[in-house]
């Protein structure tokens, strides 16, 4: 190019300089896709040294954090494994897909793809070793993964092929504290362990806390082995490593509960220098305060891999070219936990946690067969019954309030509920509104009771049913919000709900009257008129309300009828009610035994059988005498 004058020369000079500066300042994106390795541990909160826990022994994860980025506000969307994994693999909240109830296996919408399918489409070799537990019967592991087994490994890929691999360890799983280990064999001393303030300092509680720290140490050792394998294979410089716990746990009031201890997880990402453009902070060994949750994992994977994020996904990418602005909130949920019904939703911002309890007439500490295998909770229950628990330790055995609000910065164990404190009215209203917007935006399926949804949706995926135009969800949600407030001034409106054409509205109307207890007495006749409702869920709630209002014989008859229902979740719900009203008449015993004998060969998930088994135990009956077998 020929320059005509000095002005042209300086113009070209500055263009070259500016172009050089811009291209030098931008991080160069490597042409090859990174390998991605997920290391997952089960049932653990951030009880790690890198998170400031000085009692923990976690050298490998501490080292990983020093080489990567530690997320301080990372959350499982559910406080239990199967709904959590369903959320992760689909990229939509399990409450939106209808898979929030623990091990329910409802079908997934065909409109919703899993993350291995996306990754394989662009050439990734995808392996899973070996946990699946996706809480749906319509995800077949061998179809979505290249390998899914205990032997699945990235080393089996083709030469030069990028891999996405998941390794899961159950070392820290809840079951690890079910088998007793003598104090003398523990590496972490029960006498030195710090326990939560809501736990009484029983010998069993301190033992299980110390035992659990041992298991976390063993889990850390396994993580170290997987990281060493990566180093030995010469792949560390080309592999982005994610480590996270699948939810919190495991001591009672953590796993299964939408508190910090149930939903906050350790989350570390190590990114090689080669992929520096992905760094979420200036340099490794940094903490990242962005709110992230598991619904964000799928869009983040797609962002890293350069795949356009589809609009139906409900999370936000926190790495890569499609990374979003930091969100204001993270959202969590609780549905049926095995054989026990409950419904909670939670919202977390950087400082506060809001919880909305949609079944405030149930205690926190509902007896759950699997949870009660731990010596610690059995000792807690005994201490409470013996009057040995203080006010904070006794809350777990009481009915829940409708709303909870915690300042998690100043109250990390979340024991001081601020929901009724006028100083926090603005925070409460803001987070209450965030919850209402969220459940509406995702078409939350939890507002339709489980047995009812089975009958009305059939084989259709609930994700599709909720978007089919067959339901007025706004009407149902409004009924749920008003009914669960427990305000006597809403009595007439609740009676009107019981006459609705929509069964879910009737369910919430009955729930509201149940919550009002004796103040619902003016509604007895309306309740009686609803005792034969076509919805088994409505019948069970109406029966409980009537029983508590003194109409015991009518209530018992309705519950006995529901025990013969074809739907195992209708039976399970009725059994929950029978337990809570503490009914032990001869005809009720006969009805439960008859249900067991009729249902034992047909029930699929056995949660009705678990609930019935507890009643037999609670009533002090000998199964052999009644010729019933719980060998399943």
Kindly list the distances between the CA atom of residue 247 and the CA atoms of 250, 279, 294, in Å, as whole numbers in the listed order.
Answer: 9, 25, 10
User: Rounded mean pLDDT of 134-152?
Assistant: 97
Q: Which of 268-282, 465-479, 511-525, 595-609 comes out lowest in average pLDDT? A: 595-609
Residue 36 to residue 22: CA distance in whole angstroms:
29
Residue 79 to residue 248: CA distance in whole angstroms:
6
Tokens standing for residue 564: 């013969």
Is residue 453 within 8 A of residue 462, CB to CB? The reply is yes
The per-residue DSSP string of 372-401 comes to GGSHHHHHHHHHHHTT---HHHHGGGSBPP
For 46, residues 6+ apart whose C-beta sits below 8 A from its C-beta are 53, 245, 264, 265, 266
Question: Binning pLDDT at 50, 70 and 90, where does residue 275 land?
Answer: very high
User: Rounded mean pLDDT of 134-163?
Assistant: 97
Q: Which helix H or strand E contains 368, and what residues bound it?
A: none
- CA angle, 545 then 547 then 552, to 5°: 150
Structure confidence by residue, pLDDT tens digits, 352-365: 999 999 999 999 99
| Rounded percentage of the chain residues whose pLDDT exceeds 70 | 95
**Catalytic (active site) residue 25:** no
Q: Would you give the distance in Å from CA 140 to the centre of its chain?
A: 22
Three-state secondary structure of 197-265: CCCCCCHHHHHHHHHHHHHHHHHHHHHHHHHHHHHHCCCHHHEEEEEEECCCCCCCCCCCCCCHHHHEC
Tokens standing for residue 196: 């939560």
Q: Does pLDDT of 9 surpass 60?
A: no
Determine the pLDDT at residue 175.
96
Determine the pLDDT at residue 593.
97
Determine the pLDDT at residue 629.
83
Q: Does pLDDT of 389 surpass 90?
A: yes
Structure confidence by residue, pLDDT tens digits, 60-73: 999 999 999 999 99
Question: Binning pLDDT at 50, 70 and 90, where does residue 632 land?
Answer: low
Burial (CB count within 10 angstroms: exposed 0-12, middle 13-18, buried 19+), residue 277? middle
If you classify domain 35-326 with CATH, what class do you get?
alpha beta
Determine the pLDDT at residue 19.
41
Q: Does pLDDT of 182 surpass 50?
A: yes
| Rounded percentage of the chain residues whose pLDDT exceeds 90 | 91
Determine the pLDDT at residue 28.
66
User: Rounded mean pLDDT of 152-175?
Assistant: 97
Spatial CA neighbour of 67 closest among 297, 273, 321: 273
Q: Does pLDDT of 17 surpass 50?
A: no
Determine the pLDDT at residue 20.
39
Q: Catalytic pick from 50, 81, 344, 389?
A: 81
Higher pLDDT, 22 or 114: 114
Tokens standing for residue 431: 């987070």
Q: Which helix H or strand E contains 143, and what residues bound it?
A: helix 141-144
Question: What is the pLDDT of the chain when averaged over all its residues?
Answer: 94
Residue 289 to residue 264: CA distance in whole angstroms:
13
Residue position matching structure tokens 């940094």: 286
Number of C-beta neighbours around residue 363 at 10 A: 15
Determine the pLDDT at residue 297.
98
Instruction: Say whether the peptide bond before residue 130 is cis (omega within 30 degrees of 0).
Output: yes
User: Rounded mean pLDDT of 173-190?
Assistant: 96
DSSP three-state, residue 357: strand
Q: Would you give the distance in Å from CA 318 to the centre of its chain?
A: 20
Residues 39, 355, 417, 518, CA torsion sign: negative
Structure confidence by residue, pLDDT tens digits, 37-63: 999 999 999 999 999 999 999 999 999
Spatial CA neighbour of 136 closest among 173, 97, 107, 179: 107
Tokens standing for residue 598: 């009729």
Determine the pLDDT at residue 600.
73
User: Rounded mean pLDDT of 157-172?
Assistant: 98
For 464, residues 6+ apart whose C-beta sits below 8 A from its C-beta are 109, 111
Structure confidence by residue, pLDDT tens digits, 417-474: 999 999 999 999 999 999 999 999 999 999 999 999 999 998 999 999 999 999 999 9
For residue 129, list its beta bridge partners.
Answer: 167
Number of C-beta neighbours around residue 312 at 10 A: 14
User: Rounded mean pLDDT of 562-590?
Assistant: 97
Structure confidence by residue, pLDDT tens digits, 75-119: 999 999 999 999 999 999 999 999 999 998 999 999 999 999 999
Spatial CA neighbour of 569 closest among 534, 537, 528: 537
For residue 239, list its beta bridge partners.
Answer: 35
Segments making up each domain of the chain, as ranges:
35-326, 559-632
Determine the pLDDT at residue 27.
54
Tokens standing for residue 375: 């010596």
Residue 86 to residue 81: CA distance in whole angstroms:
9
């Amino acid at each position: 190019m020929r320059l005509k004058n000095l002005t042209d020369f300086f113009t070209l000079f500055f263009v070259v300089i500016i172009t050089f500066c811009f291209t030098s300042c931008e991080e160069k994106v490597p042409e090859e896709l990174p390998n991605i390795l997920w290391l997952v541990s089960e049932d653990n909160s951030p009880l790690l040294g890198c998170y400031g826990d000085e009692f923990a022994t976690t050298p490998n994860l501490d080292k990983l954090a020093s080489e990567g980025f530690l997320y301080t506000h990372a959350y499982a969307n559910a406080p239990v494994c199967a709904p959590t994994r369903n959320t992760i693999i689909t990229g939509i909240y399990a409450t939106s897909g209808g898979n929030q109830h623990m091990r329910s296996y409802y079908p997934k919408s065909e409109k919703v793809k899993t993350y291995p399918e996306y990754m394989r489409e662009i050439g990734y070799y995808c392996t899973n070793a070996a946990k699946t537990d996706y809480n749906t019967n319509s995800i077949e592991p061998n179809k979505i993964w290249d390998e899914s087994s205990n032997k699945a490994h990235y080393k089996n890929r083709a030469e030069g092929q990028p891999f996405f691999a998941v390794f899961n360890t159950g070392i820290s799983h809840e079951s690890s504290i079910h088998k007793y280990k003598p104090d003398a064999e523990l590496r972490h001393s029960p006498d030195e362990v710090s326990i939560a303030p809501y736990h009484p300092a029983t010998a069993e509680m301190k033992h299980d806390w110390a035992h659990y720290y041992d298991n976390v140490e063993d889990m850390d050792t396994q993580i170290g082995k997987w990281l060493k394998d990566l180093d030995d294979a010469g792949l560390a410089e080309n592999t982005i490593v994610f480590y996270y716990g699948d939810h919190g746990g495991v001591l009672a009031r953590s796993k299964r509960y939408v508190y910090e201890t149930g939903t906050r997880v350790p989350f570390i990402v190590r990114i090689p220098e080669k992929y520096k453009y992905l760094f979420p902070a200036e340099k490794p060994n940094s903490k990242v305060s962005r709110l992230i949750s598991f619904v964000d994992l799928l869009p983040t994977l797609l962002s890293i891999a350069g795949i356009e994020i589809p609009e139906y996904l409900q999370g936000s990418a926190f790495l890569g070219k499609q990374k979003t602005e930091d969100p204001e909130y993270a959202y969590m949920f609780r549905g049926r936990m095995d054989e026990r019904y409950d419904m909670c939703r939670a919202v977390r911002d950087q400082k506060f946690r809001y919880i909305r309890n949609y079944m405030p007439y149930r205690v926190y500490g509902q007896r759950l067969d699997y949870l009660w295998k731990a010596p610690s909770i059995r000792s807690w229950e005994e201490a409470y019954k013996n009057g040995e628990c203080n006010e904070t330790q006794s809350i777990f055995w009481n009915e829940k309030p409708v709303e909870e609000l915690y300042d998690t910065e100043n109250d990390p164990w979340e024991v001081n509920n601020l929901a009724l404190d006028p100083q926090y009215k603005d925070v409460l209203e803001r987070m209450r509104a965030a919850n209402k917007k969220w459940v509406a935006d995702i078409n939350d399926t939890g507002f339709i009771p489980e047995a009812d949804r089975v009958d009305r949706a059939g084989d259709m995926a609930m994700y599709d049913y909720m978007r089919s135009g067959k339901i007025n969800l706004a009407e149902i949600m409004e009924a749920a919000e008003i009914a669960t407030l427990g305000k006597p001034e809403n009595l007439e409106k609740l009676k009107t709900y019981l006459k609705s054409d929509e069964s879910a509205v009737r369910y919430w109307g009955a729930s509201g009257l149940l919550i009002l207890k004796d103040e619902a007495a003016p509604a007895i006749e309306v309740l009686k008129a609803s005792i034969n409702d076509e919805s088994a869920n409505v019948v069970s709630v109406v029966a409980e309300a009537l029983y508590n209002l003194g109409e015991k014989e009518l209530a018992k008859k309705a519950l006995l009828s529901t025990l013969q229902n074809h739907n195992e979740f209708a039976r399970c719900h009725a059994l929950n009610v029978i337990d809570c009203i503490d009914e032990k008449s001869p005809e009720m015993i006969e009805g439960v035994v008859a249900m067991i004998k009729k249902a034992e060969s047909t029930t699929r998930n056995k949660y009705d059988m678990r609930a019935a088994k507890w009643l037999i135990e609670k009533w002090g009956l000998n199964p052999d005498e009644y010729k019933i077998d719980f060998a399943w």
